[in-house]
Amino acid sequence: MDPAQALASPHGRPLVLPPRPTVAREPRAAGRTLATGVVPYPPGIPLLMPGENAGPADGPVLGYLNALQEFDRRFPGFEHDNHGVEVIDGTYHLYCVKQD
């Protein structure tokens, strides 16, 4: 199975939620299953693996990502390189498995 087939369901609906859940302000990623891993760099140690639950909105994982996001906003030019996180207008977005 190639990656394109893995991201499509048998019924033609995508498995990954098109509008990616945001990490901050509106904790839509809380309690969701991630479709990709999250690796903040530095230090480059995986924080979340694909298929893992993001945890509660006030939990350590999303709290850490919120802290990185706020740092990146306050200190432009010194942003973190977070693999598996898409930054749109300074807001972190995560790819999550689509809920039924």
Those residues whose C-beta lies under 8 Å from the C-beta of residue 24, and which sit 6 or more positions away, are 66, 69, 70, 91, 92
Domain ranges of the chain: 17-94
- Which CATH entry fits the domain spanning 17-94: 3.30.70.1560, 3.90.100.10, 3.40.605.10, 3.60.21.10? 3.90.100.10
Structure tokens that stand for 97 in this block: 């498995």
| DSSP string computed for 27-62 | -TTTTPBBSS-BEEETT---SB-TT-B---TTSHHH
What is the pLDDT, as a whole number, of residue 1?
A: 46
Give the pLDDT means over successive 10-residue stretches in the chain (100 positions): 55 54 68 89 89 91 92 92 89 81
* pLDDT of 78: 92
- Beta partners for 71? none
For residue 10, CA distances in Å to 5, 7, 14 come to: 9, 10, 9
Give the pTM: 0.73
